[in-house]
Amino acid sequence: MLKRIKSIFSRTDYKLFLIMFALSTVGVLSIYSAGYDPSLGEVEPYYERQTMWLAISVVGFFVFSVINYSKLVLYSIYIYSFGILLLIIVEITGFVGMGAQRWLSIGPLTIQPSEVFKTIWVITLGKIFMDFDGKPFGIVKILKKSFLLIPPFFLVFLQPDLGTAMTYFIIWSSVILFFGVKRKTFIAIFISLLFIAPIAWSNLRDYQKDRVLTFLNPENDPFGKGYHVIQSKIAIGSGGISGKGYLKGTQSHLRFIPERHTDFIYSVINEEFGLIGGLCVVILFFLLLFRILSISSQQKDAGGKIIAFAVAAYIFFQFMINSYMTVGMMPIVGIPMPFISYGGSSLLSFYCMLGIVNSIHIRKWRGID
């Protein structure tokens, strides 16, 4: 057993781990700055909690590295059922924060099951699509593959958390596009979406409609609904090329940027470190994505290939949506930036996902079960 664990650790992809850990370190430092009050010389304790979750997440990474990913795929229906059970429990007994019922208390820790389910979802996708026969997907095949998408999507939508629910759909769609869709099917789906869009719009909550309208014209209500994105753009623009310096951001420390430790953490980074700092974060993310996709491309096993691709898609879309949101190129949807935004459940989920990717990388060598 000891020899097996030693072999696993010796074959761990430490480039993957170091890039991920570098992003997390940037996150902790940025959360510290976001909570710093220069007038009092005090700091809100968000960074302490994030540091604690980072330690837990590192353990999670290595635990999932040790577990054979093929066994996770094999037992994915049980893992999926457990995840659905968590989402049902939070719907019944979860506590409410910021107008949404999304959290469960487990001892001293608070978890968000919808974030935990992201790890479960990539494992489930490995099972759903591992029987791919090389032929592009038709409408019947797509409908069959959507069966397991429906329960988590609607359970999270009801919390309400449309942003997270949409990530399940987006990653599922990405895997389908990765394998290919018949041209006629693609055209039919596109036309269907055009007809569905007005119905979907009429069923959105008022605050969700406001987010879209604010995205289209934030200046229409600069001190109300458009305040968030306008202040975010001011902070990013004021950072210039090299930034104002660490702990010297005025927009963030004077509390003009709302949700600065979560949704708008990228605004804090750009204000204090400028365009250079923002680009460094982008480079780190693309290095991480390149590493994950390299691992995916090297796999002969369909389940491993799909899981690694799905993890890369998750990181890419959440990074792009969050960063575009801060500069007003997308509506504000409350999707955190992976590894950087404050949030223990999100951090743990992404570390576990990459632990599975590392497990896939390790087991390309024979003799490791």
Q: State the Cα angle at 237 between 231 and 241, rounded to 5°.
A: 150
pLDDT confidence of 26, banded at 50, 70, 90? very high
Q: Tens of pLDDT along 67-76?
A: 999 999 999 9
* Highest mean pLDDT: which range of 56-60, 100-104, 143-147: 56-60
Both tokens assigned to 147:
């069966």
Q: State the Cα angle at 318 between 316 and 319, rounded to 5°.
A: 65
CA distances from 16 to 25, 262, 292 (A): 14, 24, 8
**Domain residue spans of the chain:** 2-362
Question: What pLDDT does 209 receive?
Answer: 64
Q: Tens of pLDDT along 163-179?
A: 889 899 999 999 998 88
Report whether 264 contacts 232 (CB < 8 A): yes
- CA dist 317 and 226 (Å) reads 24
Average pLDDT over residues 347-359: 96
Counting residues of the chain whose pLDDT is more than 70, the rounded percentage is 87
Question: What pLDDT does 95 receive?
Answer: 67
Report whether 275 contacts 310 (CB < 8 A): no
Average pLDDT over residues 181-187: 83
Q: Tens of pLDDT along 303-341?
A: 899 999 999 999 999 999 999 888 877 777 778 899 999
Amino acid identity of residue 215, one-letter, is: F
Radius of gyration of the chain (CA): 21
pLDDT confidence of 80, banded at 50, 70, 90? very high
Q: What's the pTM value of the predicted model, to 2 decimals? A: 0.90
Report whether 253 contacts 43 (CB < 8 A): no
Residues forming beta bridges with residue 22, ordered by sequence position: none
- CA dist 353 and 358 (Å) reads 9
